[in-house]
Amino acid sequence: MLNRRQFIAAVCASGLTVPTRAKAFPGSAIKPPRVRPGDKIALVSPATAAFETQPMEIMADAFRTLDLEVTLGGNFYRRYGYFAGTDAERAADINAAFADPSVKMIFARGGWGSARLLPLLDYETITANPKVLLGYSDATALITGVHAKTGLVTFHGPTPVSRFSAEYIRRVVMDGEALEMSNPVDIPDDKTVQTEDRIQVLRPGKVRGRLLGGNLTVLTAIMGSEYLPDFDGAILFLEDVNEAVYRVDRMFTELKLAGILDRIAGFVFGRCTDCDPDSSYGSLTLEEVLKEHILPLGIPAFSGSMIGHIGEQFTLPLGIDAELDAGRGSLQLLTPAVR
What per-residue confidence (pLDDT) applies to 6?
Answer: 46
Question: Would residue 211 count as lying in a domain?
Answer: yes
- The Cα–Cα gap between 157 and 55 comes to 17
What per-residue confidence (pLDDT) applies to 28?
Answer: 79
What per-residue confidence (pLDDT) applies to 166?
Answer: 98
263 and 125 both lie in a single domain: no
Average pLDDT over residues 187-214: 94
DSSP 8-state class, residue 174? I
| Domain of residue 233, CATH code | 3.50.30.60
| Domain of residue 126, CATH code | 3.40.50.10740
| Residues 46 and 92 sit within 8 Å (Cβ to Cβ) | no
181 — pLDDT class (breaks 50, 70, 90): very high
Domains: count for the chain: 2
Q: Which of 93, 87, 92 has its CA nearest to residue 71?
A: 93
Q: For 265-291, how does the pLDDT look when each residue is reduced to its tens digit (9 = 90+)?
A: 999 999 999 998 876 677 899 999 999
Question: Would residue 32 count as lying in a domain?
Answer: no
User: Coil, strand, or helix at residue 156?
Assistant: strand
- The Cα–Cα gap between 41 and 35 comes to 9
What per-residue confidence (pLDDT) applies to 283?
Answer: 87
- From 174, 202, 234, give the residue that closes a domain: 174
What per-residue confidence (pLDDT) applies to 43?
Answer: 98
In degrees, rounded to 5, the angle at the alpha carbon of residue 140 between the alpha carbons of residues 222 and 81 is 80
224 and 253 both lie in a single domain: yes
239 and 313 both lie in a single domain: yes
Question: Would residue 212 count as lying in a domain?
Answer: yes
Q: What is the pTM of this model?
A: 0.91
222 and 329 both lie in a single domain: yes
26 — pLDDT class (breaks 50, 70, 90): low
| Percent above pLDDT 70 for the chain | 91
192 and 169 both lie in a single domain: no
Q: Which of 113, 137, 324, 107 has its CA nearest to residue 233?
A: 324
187 and 218 both lie in a single domain: yes
Average pLDDT over residues 293-317: 97
Kindly report which listed range (79-83, 195-199, 201-205, 252-256) carries the lowest average pLDDT score: 195-199
Residue 335 has pLDDT above 90, yes or no: yes
- The Cα–Cα gap between 238 and 308 comes to 8
Residue 11 has pLDDT above 50, yes or no: no
91 and 205 both lie in a single domain: no
- From 174, 204, 236, give the residue that closes a domain: 174
What per-residue confidence (pLDDT) applies to 186?
Answer: 86
164 and 221 both lie in a single domain: no
Average pLDDT over residues 88-103: 98
> What is the residue-averaged pLDDT of the chain?
92
Alpha-carbon distances of 50 from 45, 112, 115, 291, rounded to whole Å: 8, 12, 18, 38
Average pLDDT over residues 44-59: 94
Q: Residue 111's domain spans which residues?
A: 40-174
Question: Would residue 108 count as lying in a domain?
Answer: yes
What per-residue confidence (pLDDT) applies to 21?
Answer: 36
SS3 content of the chain, % helix, strand, coil (to 5): 30, 20, 45
Residue 326 has pLDDT above 70, yes or no: yes
Q: Which of 217, 292, 219, 226 has its CA nearest to residue 260?
A: 219
Question: Would residue 8 count as lying in a domain?
Answer: no
169 and 227 both lie in a single domain: no
Question: Would residue 10 count as lying in a domain?
Answer: no
Question: Would residue 161 count as lying in a domain?
Answer: yes
- From 174, 208, 225, give the residue that closes a domain: 174
271 and 170 both lie in a single domain: no
149 and 59 both lie in a single domain: yes
153 and 246 both lie in a single domain: no
- The Cα–Cα gap between 165 and 300 comes to 26
